[in-house]
Amino acid sequence: MEETIAILDFGSQYGQLIARRVREHKVFSRLCRHDISCAELKKLNLKGLILSGGPASVYAEGSPRCDPDLFTLGVPVLGICYGMQIGCELLGGKIGMAHAREYGSTRLRLTESDGLLSHLAGEKTVWMSHGDQVRELSDDFISLGETPTCPYAAVRHNKVPFYGVQFHPEVTHTPCGSQIFQNFLYEICQCRGDWQMGNFIEQACEKIKSQVGDATVICGLSGGVDSSVTAALLHRAIGEQLVCIFVDNGLLRKGERDHVESTFRDHFQLDLRVVDWSERFLTRLAGVTDPQQKRTIIGHEFIEAFTHEADRIADVKFLAQGTLYPDVIESGHKDGNPAANIKLHHNVGGLPEKLGFELVEPLRDLFKDEVRLLGEHLGLPEALVWRHPFPGPGLAVRVVGDVTRERLDILRDADEIMLEEIRAAGLYRGIAQALTVLLPISSVGVMGDDRSYENQHVVAVRAVQTQDFMTADWVHIPYEVLGRISSRIINEVRGINRVVYDISSKPPATIEWE
């Protein structure tokens, strides 16, 4: 079992970021609910604990608490912000409202470069976000750093391996944060640092083999990063026991079906079943303009198409899907359990319940960037591994209004040009998601010597940059690139005479238009 750093989540907006920072230092991390018992923690190959920040006040009634016996586990503990405060309180300290709240960049003066703050000296810039702070500490504590308004900005305990920082070392606004994690993981917790993709592949393959035995596993392959990496990993583990099902819903990008077939059937030699259900999808969507109704119809038809093919495969007991760690965390937080459930949209439209299959989720411990790295290790093409997210309902939610074959073909051609141009400009990897949207607007224009209006559409181009897709900002694509995109779309795609660029951020706008 890999050595593990458990992160107790007290509701911090940076909980996942802490987990990622630990993994970037080649140590496996697991985000746990704040009240996980010591008995559960002992089941892990635990090397250390991190107590996250959180929005509550330690002294408030009903504030989140942790098992008070966690200091008996014999592993070092690092408290961050709220985590520092609750750790200090458990060890006899007093917490109260700060005389002056600290938000943003602050200068930390190091009073002792010991253990956690090794290889650091003098003053450092750190990121603060707190209204409470430690007011009193026992003689068993040693102050490691202070700010003008926070006398205990970093501390350690003399008798218990507890360290606390009032600032946030996990954010990039704390430049020395990486060194602090390095110190905690390697000098204090004595981690080996053997969390790497090569080892993960071996361990994941063994887990898959152990779970499925000789049974057949089916995998819904969409052509996206998560399902593609899932399929490649399963094929590495169980070979011919894997059957992949690709549903052509008629709402795909240009050349999508051919690309999936050539990659997985021809290159990886997978047993790939393609279900052409496009006519059914388009018939059901005819005249439907409400976005939620579109999604409902597409979800229903996907289940029908998938079930139709799954029923023809013998001895199927397992369904594989590309659930990622953030999906597990986010859904679990709804009931206070970071690892309890999976978000609905990752449940393959309800297929496990409908078909009675047991789930295989080999990526459920990974973040998105780790999945991409895994895909590279498994030999997937770079273009697939770094592909931008594509919505489950496909182009149906990028054709605003009525979804017809003609409007889909127009959007496919425009979309292909947009992608070609941002790749040619070297911008693709720096953009989190880029898309085109066909608007239900007829736009007057001049084509040749005539005014054009009938059957002339408007296309919106959108490109965003984001870390977590919860918030996003529009990308400042150079004017000359936007010019080429616009010129090519208008000249090469019959039916479009106007291109606009979406410069709205999320929030308030969503990334997709529908």
- Residues annotated as catalytic are 81, 168, 170
Residue among 65, 61, 57 nearest 9 (CA): 65
Within 13 Å of residue 386, how many CA atoms lie on the same side as its CB? 11
Residue among 247, 220, 224, 228 nearest 387 (CA): 224
The helix-helix angle for 479-492 and 405-424 (nearest 10°) equals 150
Look-up of token digits 């606004």: 173
Helix (H) or strand (E) holding 166: none
The type of residue at 295 is R
Q: Give every CB contact of residue 127 below 8 A, 6+ residues apart in sequence.
A: 104, 105, 106, 167, 168, 171, 173, 174
The type of residue at 50 is I
Q: In this structure, how many other beta carbons lie within 10 angstroms of the beta carbon of residue 379?
A: 11
The type of residue at 48 is G
How many angstroms separate the CA atoms of 110 and 95, rounded?
21
Q: Contact at 8 Å (CB) between 116 and 179?
A: no
Local structure of 385: helix, strand or coil: helix
DSSP string, 95-156: EEEEEEEEEEEEEEEES---GGGTT--SEEEEEEEEEEEEEE--TTEEEEEEETTEEEEEEE
Buried b (16+ CB within 10 A) or exposed e, 185-195: bbebbebeeeb
The type of residue at 91 is L
Rg over alpha carbons for the chain, rounded to the nearest Å, is 26
The type of residue at 454 is E
Local structure of 48: helix, strand or coil: strand
Tokens in use for 183? 């110190």
Q: Contact at 8 Å (CB) between 113 and 106?
A: no
